[in-house]
Structure 1
Amino acid sequence: MPMSTPQQTDLLDAAACLFHGFSDPTRLAILRHLALGEHRVTDLVAHVGLAQSTVSQHLACLRDCGLVTSRPVGRASLWSLTHPDALESLFAAAEQLLERTGEAVTLCADHGVAGPGARPGHTHAARSAS
């Protein structure tokens, strides 16, 4: 197998970080909800049914991955997708792949298991997202 170049390694590392943003069902639910338009954290809390602090941690992870952004509106922030068309294409591709692989994903040894050192609500930075 050919050795990876430093550029290829950097690209793979970046892709792994990006896909980490998609690795949690709550983050996927948040992304899907934001595909409908801008929402406040309180709207997202009501949608996913988790504590505001937990939703804020997930938003921080998604922001750090470059998937969402926020803008202040009064005392609140409105959250939105940074690249809605690209995310919609990615979700469509994921659905096609899941249709083709069927139940195979549930046979994966890591299915439903957090990776080494993973923590619920893990974020890439210690910044608050509320």
Structure 2
Amino acid sequence: MYARDNESGASLPQQQPSDAQVETAAEAFRMLSDTTRLRLMWLLSEGEYDVTSLAGAIGVARPSVSQHLAKLRLAGLVRTRRDGRRVLYRARDAHVRGLIGEALFHADHEVSGIPRHED
């Protein structure tokens, strides 16, 4: 690639992501493409919740929430912790919380017409 081919002036990343990294990222985006799971992840980015609290907060049946949480957990997007008989769920880490926040900030700009942030 010649310098003139890159009109933006941005440099290419030094090292491309591995196939495993790309597949894992794509799987995370697939999990987040469901509106119920995205709503759950938004809540889980803010704190810990049990299934009953999550179901009530988003207005979805408890069994459905449990199934969505199982998928999110298998995808590595949420973690769990036992508190007596309850299982509490939370977004796995700061990377996942940041991803959710950025996706929803982007959507806010799209929906509300807020001017975009330029580089």
Normalising by structure 2, report the TM-score.
0.67
Alpha-carbon offset, residue 90 of structure 1: 1.9
Amino acid at match of 2:41: L
Q: Which has the higher helix share?
A: 2
Alignment deviations for residues 81-129 of structure 1 (CA, whole Å, 9 cap, x no partner): 111x323422343245443xx48xxxxxxxxxxxxxxxxxxxxxxxxxx
Question: Percent identity of the aligned residues?
Answer: 35
Gaps of 5+ in 2: 1-16, 112-119
Gaps of 5+ in 1: 1-6, 104-130
Structure with more relative contact order (C-alpha pairs < 8 Å, separation 6 or more): 1
Mapped to 1, the partners of 2:39 and 2:74 lie a distance apart of: 17
For the aligned residue pairs, the C-alpha RMSD in angstroms reads 2.0
Change beyond 3 A, Cα 1:87–1:72: same
Change beyond 3 A, Cα 1:95–1:81: closer
Alpha-carbon offset, residue 30 of structure 1: 0.6
Alpha-carbon offset, residue 28 of structure 1: 0.9
Larger Rg: 2
Mapped to 1, the partners of 2:23 and 2:89 lie a distance apart of: 26
Change beyond 3 A, Cα 1:76–1:92: closer
Normalising by structure 1, report the TM-score.
0.62
Change beyond 3 A, Cα 1:54–1:14: same
Q: How does 1:1-130 map to 2 (within 5 A)?
A: 8-83=18-93, 85-95=94-104, 97-98=106-107, 99=109, 102=110
